[in-house]
Amino acid sequence: MTFLQMNDVVKRYGSKLSVDHLNLSINEGEIFGLLGPNGAGKSTTINMICGLLKSDQGHIEVDGISVKDRPLEVKKRIGLVPQDLALYESMSAADNVSFFAKLYGLRGKLMKERVEEALAFVGLQDRAKETPSTFSGGMKRRLNIACAIMHRPKLIIMDEPTVGIDPQSRNHILDSVRKLNELGSTVIYTSHYMEEVSAISDRVAIMDKGHVIACGTQQELRERVAREEKIVLTADGITQDVVSELSMHPRITRVIQNEKEMEIYLPSAQNDLQDVLFICSKHEVVIQTIKCEEPDLETLFLSLTGRTLRD
């Protein structure tokens, strides 16, 4: 069942076209990864979904409700975890969550229960009376999530939720995303870390220049753009001669050498592996390890956009 639908959505800033006739469909109950280089239109898209920006053209529906016609009803269904922390440093963790709870109309006993529930969910129940000014970056990120989920939203949008935090906190947040999804929330997740999106997403959309250029499961994206596989060799005795001969092979598209490692790109690792091994043996290269890899999200992204995600 479709939970979020965007049809022919356009947003301009003056003469600049930020979102260009965008069409996007997200299913209920899925974790949806949204990728794109800086300036691709991701933040503008998120802000329009949340009703923080008005589109110039097109139609957006969340849970069957028009963002344009009933923005308040849509906002009640969304929890936004922004890239920039939205916290009051001088207020306690519990008071921060309570502040946002009141904005959603929660009061009294129900509000108290939801605040305690949200803090427990992110592992901060023991720090409820402490202020964010005493928290680590990872704890602040987790508190930011608590503020976004205390009203039990049906759609949770996480915009770069792990920027600048330690690996332990990152893993905690990724686990939280999975748990929220298991509890029934649909999740939109944006990140500059490909491995995060790859690890948790059911489907992925790649945005560039204001519109979606590819969307599907990771396997579907691989099948669409994967023209190469990669052989990674670690070995002793790698010389420029062996690199040159491998590069001249009619089916090898490129060879990248990094000290004792070679990355060899070709249409089919299985079909041409024997040729690679023969050339290495001819040049007395002593192979230590060898592995064949399918294209990862980073490779797919580069293939589609011509840029890396952090460009």
pLDDT digits (tens, 9 = 90+) for 131-162: 999 999 999 999 999 999 999 999 999 998 98
pLDDT number for residue 156: 97
User: Which of 26-30, 91-95, 205-209 is least confident?
Assistant: 205-209
Q: Residue 297: is its pLDDT beyond 60?
A: yes
Average pLDDT across the chain, whole number: 90
State phi, psi for 104 to the nearest 5 degrees: -95, 10
Residue 194 is predicted with a pLDDT of 83
State residue 309's pLDDT score. 56
Give yes or no for a contact between 260 and 290, defined as CB atoms under 8 angstroms apart. Answer: no
Q: How confident is the model at residue 42 (pLDDT cuts 50, 70, 90)?
A: very high
For residue 114, the cross-strand partners are none
Q: What is the pLDDT of residue 120?
A: 95
Which has the higher per-residue pLDDT, 19 or 40?
A: 19
pLDDT of residue 11: 97
Q: Which residues contact 188 (CB under 8 A, 6 or more apart)?
A: 4, 26, 32, 34, 46, 49, 155, 156, 157, 158
Model pLDDT, residue 310: 53
Q: Taking the chain, what is the end-to-end CA distance rounded to the nearest angstrom?
A: 35
Residues in the chain: 311
Q: How confident is the model at residue 292 (pLDDT cuts 50, 70, 90)?
A: confident
Confidence of residue 227 (pLDDT cuts 50, 70, 90): low
Please state the rounded mean pLDDT for residues 13-21: 93
For helices 167-182 and 137-149, what crossing angle results, to 10°?
Answer: 10
Lowest mean pLDDT among 20-34, 59-73, 265-279: 265-279
**pLDDT for residue 222:** 75
What is the percent of the chain with per-residue pLDDT over 90, rounded to a whole number? 70
Q: Are 255 and 247 in contact (CB under 8 A)?
A: yes
pLDDT band at 218 (very low <50, low <70, confident <90, very high): confident
Tell me the backbone φ, ψ of residue 172, rounded to 5 degrees. Answer: -60, -45
Lowest mean pLDDT among 122-126, 222-226, 228-232, 276-280: 222-226
What is the pLDDT at residue 303? 67
Q: What is the 3-state secondary structure (H, E, C) of the chain?
A: CEEEEEEEEEEEECCEEEEEEEEEEEECCCEEEEECCCCCCHHHHHHHHCCCCCCCEEEEEECCEECCCCHHHHHHCEEEECCCCCCCCCCCHHHHHHHHHHHCCCCHHHHHHHHHHHHHHCCCHHHCCCCHHHCCHHHHHHHHHHHHHCCCCCEEEEECCCCCCCHHHHHHHHHHHHHHHHCCCEEEEECCCHHHHHHHCCEEEEEECCEEEEEECHHHHHHHHCCCEEEEEEEECCCHHHHHHHHHCCCCCEEEEECCEEEEEECCHHHHHHHHHHHHHHCCCEEEEEEEECCCHHHHHHHHHCCCCCC
The domains found in the chain, sorted by start residue, are 2-223 (3.40.50.300), 227-293 (3.30.70.100)
- pTM for the full model? 0.79
The pLDDT of residue 182 is 95
pLDDT of residue 307: 61
